Amino acid sequence: MVEATWFIEGNDVMAGLYLGIDLGGTLIKFALLDDALIPKGHLELPTPVQKGPDEVIDMMIYGARKLLHQQGVSSSDLSGIGVASPGPIDFETGTVIAMPNIPGFNDIPLRARLADALGVETILENDANAAAMGEAFCGAGKNADILIMLTLGTGVGSGIIIDGKVLRGCHSAGAEIGHMIVEPNGEPCPCGQRGCLERYSSAAAVAQYARRLIENDGRQSTLSKILKKHGDIDASQVNDAQIAGDELAKEVWDRAMYFLAIGCINLARLFDPEVIILGGGMAKSGESLINPLRRYFNELHWTLTEPKTSLELSTLGSKAGVIGAAVIAWKTFGK
Amino acid sequence: MVEATWFIEGNDVMAGLYLGIDLGGTLIKFALLDDALIPKGHLELPTPVQKGPDEVIDMMIYGARKLLHQQGVSSSDLSGIGVASPGPIDFETGTVIAMPNIPGFNDIPLRARLADALGVETILENDANAAAMGEAFCGAGKNADILIMLTLGTGVGSGIIIDGKVLRGCHSAGAEIGHMIVEPNGEPCPCGQRGCLERYSSAAAVAQYARRLIENDGRQSTLSKILKKHGDIDASQVNDAQIAGDELAKEVWDRAMYFLAIGCINLARLFDPEVIILGGGMAKSGESLINPLRRYFNELHWTLTEPKTSLELSTLGSKAGVIGAAVIAWKTFGK
């Protein structure tokens, strides 16, 4: 009791810390932010996917304690924990309904498990929403009233932040920008629709389309050699090839940029955001992504006004989710 | 002073009235709501378009006073006035930048003009946003946390209400759902884009497409006779013809419903609204609109979940805007 009082009144550095945890299929990331949203420490641990949910949760608790210890603080210095998780979440009960990459991680009351173990109030959020919150408060979208983040990876993840709040929708099914239809009767999507944005502009879609043109249509490309050697190609190899002048790679990359621009124009028409931020694996291609995207965006955009929404690369990179998780804790449990 | 006090304390019916004014190119509408959003009176007057802005504003003031007089109240009983206006508005200064249908109505400080003349606090809003607010609080969208309204007329007007607030965007350019691209490289739109929703699913687009198929493509249709006789056709005639089994009319109507469903699916994916409300001239076709729209919406919708957003016809009809204007006054100036 006395010690707690001493911490709060006598040492501001110790009070008002927020822990973010980003639970991914490969890594669990941890980040500590203070009350001014200044990063105070960061840690990454492997996700023990094969060992099941209990071991995964134990690793989250272990990592949280380890980071706190490294920073010379304890869980009593935390004002809240935010956890970013992929897959569907029941926000009311704080339950992870399913984790696509962790077998058996179904209907796990993750919020209560962590809060009980660490003795700190905890909140769950979808990882794409968390990444958007991270960029909104600590990254490329600082001070934006409306910010949209697209994470270009296996799919197109997305988060929409309006006035500092995540747009979640009436049935927790909003902000699924990857499933905006950008080509009626277009590419079939596992979701059951056709022509979803993520069938054109995700890293996976880029690689798949290149492969299809080579394997099914017998098209010539420098990518054929990589495909033969490794049995697969990825989006960054397509980008390398298109930079080197490969015609097929240029066509594939161009298609992804074209439909991504259509998607961004639609977001500008509907939300009129300050900024649309591009993150995820494909954003590592930097100018190869942002330059043609901006070009198509400007070219296909209405002429009633100049484009006002800016398109920017993520500045937090792979840390957007974990920082955003801590930001959500700060928003929820801070004064 | 004594009288004012008496009104507020002694007679609740007199206190907390809100006046809505909907300034259209043909009619000016007036509606009075009480504090519980119960309609207390309604009036319509012709818009003196040809006489210029001053006469139009005088008619607004005259109509406001007339409706108050009819209801046995005065402007001192009003807690606020909301004005719905088409065209771009500078919300900060309360200025109508341009009125598409009223020549000379440019850069008019309408808010100040009405507030000064009537001695009541006044707020301006875009007419499509006002209609959405009307449906959200008094119509088909009661109690919806997120509601979207599409007004199918000359274009596709739209309003998006999130938690009782109009989504306006960072540069007052949001909620332009009519200019969502639903067909890449599709029909050219005067806005400068191609494939905008309103080029397919507005009343004007339906009529234009039927006419094009008849006149340019030489297609056979029962609509040819109407076109020859009157020099034009409209969407309701296309609807009549498709109900009667005309093949061309069926094709035209079907195309409008298909793209409208694509647009609604995209809205469901992005906003996950409780309800999307269809209003405007084309909504008068009732089941001819809502039934095929729902069919396509269900058919093209993802299969990850059942559709949760419902599609409904407007219940306020042509009064949505004026009632919404009064609702906005209630939201802004009410306790």
At A203, the amino acid letter reads A
Give me the mean pLDDT over the A187-194 stretch.
Answer: 96
Instruction: Band the pLDDT of B13: cuts 50, 70, 90.
Output: very low
Per-residue pLDDT for B10 more than 80? Answer: no
Dig out the tokens for A18 from the structure. Answer: 């927020």
pLDDT of residue A6: 31
Per-residue pLDDT for B7 more than 50? Answer: no
pLDDT tens by residue, A226-263: 999 999 999 999 999 999 999 999 999 999 999 999 99
Question: Interface pTM (ipTM) of the complex?
Answer: 0.92
Closest Cα of chain A to B46: distance in Å? 30
A91 closest CA partner among A158, A162, A169: A169
The mean pLDDT value of chain A amounts to 93
pLDDT of residue B143: 82
Rounded to whole angstroms, how far apart are CA atoms B327 and B135? Answer: 10
| SS3 category, B122 | strand
Per-residue pLDDT for A2 more than 80? Answer: no
Rounded to whole angstroms, how far apart are CA atoms B201 and B263? Answer: 10
Contacts of B174 in chain A (CB under 8 A): 146, 269-272
Closest Cα of chain A to B322: distance in Å? 24
Q: Does A12 touch chain B (CB under 8 A)?
A: no
Instruction: Band the pLDDT of B72: cuts 50, 70, 90.
Output: very high
**A184: nearest CA partner in chain B:** B183
Contacts of B198 in chain A (CB under 8 A): none
Q: A193, B305: Cβ pair inside 8 Å?
A: no
Per-residue pLDDT for A333 more than 60? Answer: yes
pLDDT of residue B25: 87
Q: Does A191 touch chain B (CB under 8 A)?
A: yes
pLDDT of residue A260: 98
Contacts of B160 in chain A (CB under 8 A): 270
Q: Does B174 touch chain A (CB under 8 A)?
A: yes
Q: Does B166 touch chain A (CB under 8 A)?
A: no
Q: Out of A11-20, B76-85, B92-101, which region has the weakest mean confidence (pLDDT)?
A: A11-20
pLDDT tens by residue, A39-87: 999 999 999 989 999 999 999 999 999 999 999 999 999 999 999 998 8
DSSP letter for B108, please. Answer: B
Closest Cα of chain A to B12: distance in Å? 36
Per-residue pLDDT for B204 more than 70? Answer: yes
Helices (H) and strands (E) in chain B, counts: 11, 12
**A143: nearest CA partner in chain B:** B170
Rounded to whole angstroms, how far apart are CA atoms A309 and A98? Answer: 35
Closest Cα of chain A to B305: distance in Å? 9
Rounded to whole angstroms, how far apart are CA atoms B177 and B52? Answer: 31
Instruction: Band the pLDDT of A175: cuts 50, 70, 90.
Output: very high
Mutate: best of A302, A303, A305, partner B, most B CBs <10 A: A302
DSSP letter for A26, please. Answer: S
pLDDT tens by residue, B140-180: 987 899 999 999 999 999 999 999 999 999 999 999 999 99
Compute the CA torsion angle A138, A139, A141, A142 (nearest 10 deg): 40
Cross-strand partners of B152: B156
pLDDT of residue A100: 76
| All domains of chain B in start order, with CATH | 2-133+319-333 (3.30.420.40), 143-315 (3.30.420.40)
Burial of A50 (0-12, 13-18, 19+ CB in 10 A): exposed
pLDDT tens by residue, B20-71: 999 998 999 999 999 999 999 999 999 998 999 999 999 999 999 999 999 9
Q: B266, A302: Cβ pair inside 8 Å?
A: no
CB contact residues (below 8 A), chain A span 264-303, against chain B: 265-274, 300-303
Per-residue pLDDT for A183 more than 80? Answer: yes
Give me the mean pLDDT over the A174-186 stretch.
Answer: 97
Closest Cα of chain A to B176: distance in Å? 5
A146 closest CA partner among A286, A318, A30, A309: A309
CB contact residues (below 8 A), chain B span 231-260, against chain A: 258-259
Q: Does B230 touch chain A (CB under 8 A)?
A: no
Give me the mean pLDDT over the A104-126 stretch.
Answer: 95
pLDDT of residue B9: 36
Longest dimension (CA), chain A: 75
B152 closest CA partner among B293, B4, B53, B248: B293
Instruction: Band the pLDDT of B266: cuts 50, 70, 90.
Output: very high
B259 closest CA partner among B282, B236, B243: B282
Closest Cα of chain A to B309: distance in Å? 9
**A185: nearest CA partner in chain B:** B300
CB contact residues (below 8 A), chain B span 75-134, against chain A: none
DSSP letter for B50, please. Answer: G
B29 closest CA partner among B136, B143, B127: B127
A121 closest CA partner among A111, A129, A131: A111
Q: B169, A146: Cβ pair inside 8 Å?
A: yes
| Of A183, A270, A274, Cβ closest to residue B170 | A274
Instruction: Band the pLDDT of A11: cuts 50, 70, 90.
Output: very low
Q: Percentage of chain A with pLDDT > 70?
A: 96
Residues in chain A, total: 335
A126 closest CA partner among A164, A162, A97: A97
Per-residue pLDDT for B6 more than 80? Answer: no
pLDDT of residue A93: 94
pLDDT of residue A142: 80
pLDDT of residue B3: 32
Q: B265, A175: Cβ pair inside 8 Å?
A: no
Rounded to whole angstroms, how far apart are CA atoms B259 and B279? Answer: 16
| Of B145, B170, B271, Cβ closest to residue A272 | B170
pLDDT of residue B15: 62
